[in-house]
Structure 1
Amino acid sequence: MKLSFDVPEGNSSRTLHFEAKHLVIAGWTGRDAAAIEHHIEELSALGVPAPSAVPLFYRVGTNQLSQDDTVQVVGSETSGEAEPLLFLHAGDYFVSIGSDHTDRALEAHSVALSKQICVKPVARIAWRLADVLERWDSLVLRSWIEEDGEWRIYQEGTLAALRPPADLIARCTAADGEPQEGFAMTCGTVAAIGGIRPAARFRMELADAHSGRRISHEYRSVVLPVIA
């Protein structure tokens, strides 16, 4: 899957063309064991079984990546989840933001299938990882959902809640081999405020207070009927 990103360089930016060849969805990536247990319990309430390992690295087809503003989903039980997105291009790592949009009804049957079945919306801006790595923990991940005609905060937290990039890359390498050109990985997320729930419109951002820069993306889900 081919994606394009605007990458800031000083007072200007350049366009980076990235072809994703290997997509990993990293789950259960929190540094706080209690927070991980809370998320496991949150999903358990929805019928989702506990993970076999922590963290866990799911493989998803790269054709599911999209930078469109609209995605189509089957049924009404899907929801977005904002996550940092790392990718390897020309020997350098970059960071953007993506939504691990997931089918929550299917998740109770198979987490891997629930992730594979949904398109993963991705922003159109990326930063060089090296440019933000020293302040990685201070970057703020947020998302909003539209409910009753209003935008409501859905997720908010710093990346200090998640394992750092080097740790995740090393663990993914041990599980899945050395990352190659075209490697992309979402890095986990922070808990949903008020619990996981579906919404037709989803907005997400990654904010860097030091530079004042933000990576943001908004999309809506169009529900297709479930035909038996």
Structure 2
Amino acid sequence: MLTFTHGSGTLSLTPEYLAIAGWAGRDQAGVKHHIEELAELGVQPPSATPLFYRVGREQLTQHDVVQMLGSHGSGEVEACLMSDAQGTLWVTVASDHTDRKLEAVGVAESKQLCAKPVAREAWRFDEVESHWDQIEMSSVIAEDGQAVTYQLGTLAELLDVPTLLAQLPAPLASNGTLAPGCVLLCGTVPTRGGIRPSQHFSMSLYDPVLGRTLRHAYRIEELEVIK
């Protein structure tokens, strides 16, 4: 069970299904850029855009320290939609941490290998729906002992929520929206300086209209790969 604080209390969610929207940029030039970034790592281009990669719900975690196998993983900041038991939509921030070495073999497999850190706070989607595109998303990594901006953009760069939800496959969809108990990571923005690993990853969604921020940070505890 995941627990989130919000403006009027707490939300407890027992996820039933988790999916990650891939290649979900609104600007196809941006999508092409991200595909080219991954192609440099040997990742095959997608068969269609967007794609919804299924990941085991157990991969969602709110821990600050996350164990990962090897040193080839890196995070991606994403807005995360959640549907509670009543079908109410909520928003938080999450990281689609992915094993980049395995990604060259299979994107879906690489996503399943890594935990998906998620924040401990959430907003109701209807509170931000009218200014969704203005919400800023960013991530910061540790590099040579310095905090470096890794990603920076707005949700206007990604497919809008109605368009994304309209394309959801079963069993993620219900009556044109996210089915109760489902969690959806909604896509990311390009990196600055290329995709690269870091043992520290922090991420945030900033709402400039209501003046508030969702944030989370985690550290990777690397597990040795035994051969």
In which range does the TM-score fall when normalised by the shorter chain?
Answer: over 0.9
Match for 2:143: what amino acid? E
What is aligned with 1:202?
A: 201
Match for 1:171: what amino acid? Q
When residues 35 and 175 of structure 1 are mapped into structure 2, their CA distance, relative to the original with a 3 A threshold, is farther
What is aligned with 1:38?
A: 33
TM-score when scaled to structure 1? 0.95
What is aligned with 1:143?
A: 139
When residues 217 and 157 of structure 1 are mapped into structure 2, their CA distance, relative to the original with a 3 A threshold, is same
How many Å separate the matches in 2 of 1:15 and 1:53?
38
Q: Which runs of 5+ in 1 are unaligned?
A: none
How many Å separate the matches in 2 of 1:16 and 1:176?
20
How many Å separate the matches in 2 of 1:223 and 1:117?
13
- Residue-pair matches, total: 223
Q: How much does 1:54 deviate? A: 0.3
Q: How much does 1:225 deviate? A: 0.7
Q: 2:65 aligns with which of 64, 70, 87?
A: 70
Task: Write out aligned runs for 1:1-228 (5 A).
Answer: 2-8=1-7, 13-89=8-84, 90-173=86-169, 177-178=173-174, 179-228=178-227
Q: Does the 8 A contact of 2:171 with 2:179 survive in 1?
A: no
> Helix, strand or coil: the match of 1:30?
coil
Q: Percent identity?
A: 50
> Helix, strand or coil: the match of 1:160?
helix
Q: How much does 1:211 deviate? A: 1.1
Which stretch of structure 1 is more off in the superposition, 189-198 or 173-182? 173-182
Question: Please, what is the CA RMSD of the aligned residues?
Answer: 1.1
How many Å separate the matches in 2 of 1:20 and 1:45?
34
Match for 1:146: what amino acid? A
TM-score when scaled to structure 2? 0.96
Q: After TM superposition, where is structure 1 displaced by more than 4 Å over at least 4 residues in a row?
A: 174-177
> Helix, strand or coil: the match of 2:111?
helix
Q: How much does 1:173 deviate? A: 3.8
Q: Does the 8 A contact of 2:172 with 2:182 survive in 1?
A: no
